[in-house]
Amino acid sequence: MSLLDRVRECARFQPGRYLPFRVDGVRLGRIERGIAGRFGRFKDVFRVTNDAVDLAPGLSGFDDRTRAVAGALVSLRDEGLISGWRDEAYPVAAAFSSPPLFVVERAAVPLLGVKGYGVHVNGYVVDGGTVKLWVGRRSLSKPTGPGKLDQVVAGGQPAGISIADNLIKECAEEAAIPEAIAATAVPVGTVSYLTERPEGLRDDVLFDYDLELPPDFQPVNADGEVAAFYLWPIEQVIETLEGSDEFKFNSGLVVIDFLVRRGFIGPDRPDYVDIVEGLHIREAVAAGDW
């Protein structure tokens, strides 16, 4: 698997398979046509036609929408349509900066095809002028990507917490990184994608941070979500990305972004432009309103 293959893995999207999911006429997500009819059973919550799945117009407030949608999603979970339930509330909004119209269970975000957000931290060490990257291996109990390689710290962005506070929290829980060190993490941009996954349609934006860690620091997991940590030279990171599918699909993108920004992947590569553009494929797809 080449680096470009990894990027293309996050751009698998067939627009014709989906109906827009709308609230007050504004598309907030996409629902697969094959399962859209199951939403139609909840007539007080959803209106399903050949053209769209709309939230019922009578649901006009944050609390009403949240309660009504939650009831339908619990039923769909009990029927086996939603797996990996976490009891974590995620915002549904037209944009990250917009007030949420309601919140939903995290596991339902791909089912509705609404925008999801996360925070990923590239923890690295400079050892004698050589850069090494901390890599985490996800627990086998994780609902998505069990056993896959990941950033030293990575987590979703739930409702009711700022990105900065979420970063500090995730650093403490996943790698026992002290707040004083975690607070030095540098925001370096985003990676985004729109891709079909077993759990549904992932329309995600990841807020990426670089965090230089002391050479003698050893991450320790506290929440049971990481099975092991490895400190790898960049050459081993690249070899693993290119020679296996060990990295979780979106975490691989974040690593590639790190390698591009740090100059370990340069413009002399024939696929360099395609790789860099592919790190933001979500915007390109969304601009066409597919």
Binning pLDDT at 50, 70 and 90, where does residue 289 land? very low
Please state the rounded mean pLDDT for residues 198-213: 96
Q: Say if residue 107's pLDDT is above 90.
A: yes
Please state the rounded mean pLDDT for residues 93-120: 96
Domain limits of the chain? 3-12+116-287, 16-114
Please state the rounded mean pLDDT for residues 60-89: 96
Query: Of the ranges 79-88, 230-239, 278-287, which one carries the lowest mean pLDDT score?
Result: 278-287
Q: Say if residue 214's pLDDT is above 90.
A: yes
Q: Say if residue 288's pLDDT is above 90.
A: no
3-state secondary structure the chain: CCHHHHHHHCCCCCHHHEEEEEECCEEEEEEEHHHHHHHCCCCCCEEECCCCEEECCCCCCHHHHHHHHHHHHHHHHHCCCCCCCCCCEEEECCCCCCCCCEEEEHHHHHHHCCEEEEEEEEEEEEECCEEEEEEEEECCCCCCCCCCEEECEEEECCCCCCHHHHHHHHHHHHHCCCHHHHCCCEEEEEEEEEEEECCEEEEEEEEEEEEECCCCCCCCCCCCCEEEEEEEEHHHHHHHHHHCCCECHHHHHHHHHHHHHCCCCCCCCCCHHHHHHHCEHHHHHHHCCC
pLDDT tens by residue, 218-250: 999 999 999 999 999 999 999 999 999 999 999
Same CATH fold, 16-114 and 3-12+116-287?
A: no
Binning pLDDT at 50, 70 and 90, where does residue 281 land? low
Please state the rounded mean pLDDT for residues 58-74: 96
Q: Say if residue 286's pLDDT is above 80.
A: no
CATH code of the domain made up of 16-114:
3.30.750.160
Please state the rounded mean pLDDT for residues 196-223: 96
pLDDT tens by residue, 10-37: 999 999 999 999 999 999 999 999 999 9
Across the chain, mean pLDDT equals: 94
Q: Say if residue 205's pLDDT is above 70.
A: yes
Give the CATH class of 3-12+116-287: alpha beta
pLDDT tens by residue, 131-183: 999 999 999 999 889 999 999 999 999 999 999 999 999 999 999 999 999 99
Q: Say if residue 52's pLDDT is above 60.
A: yes
Q: Say if residue 200's pLDDT is above 60.
A: yes
pLDDT tens by residue, 260-272: 999 999 999 999 9
Q: Say if residue 283's pLDDT is above 60.
A: no
Return the pLDDT at 128: 87
Return the pLDDT at 60: 87
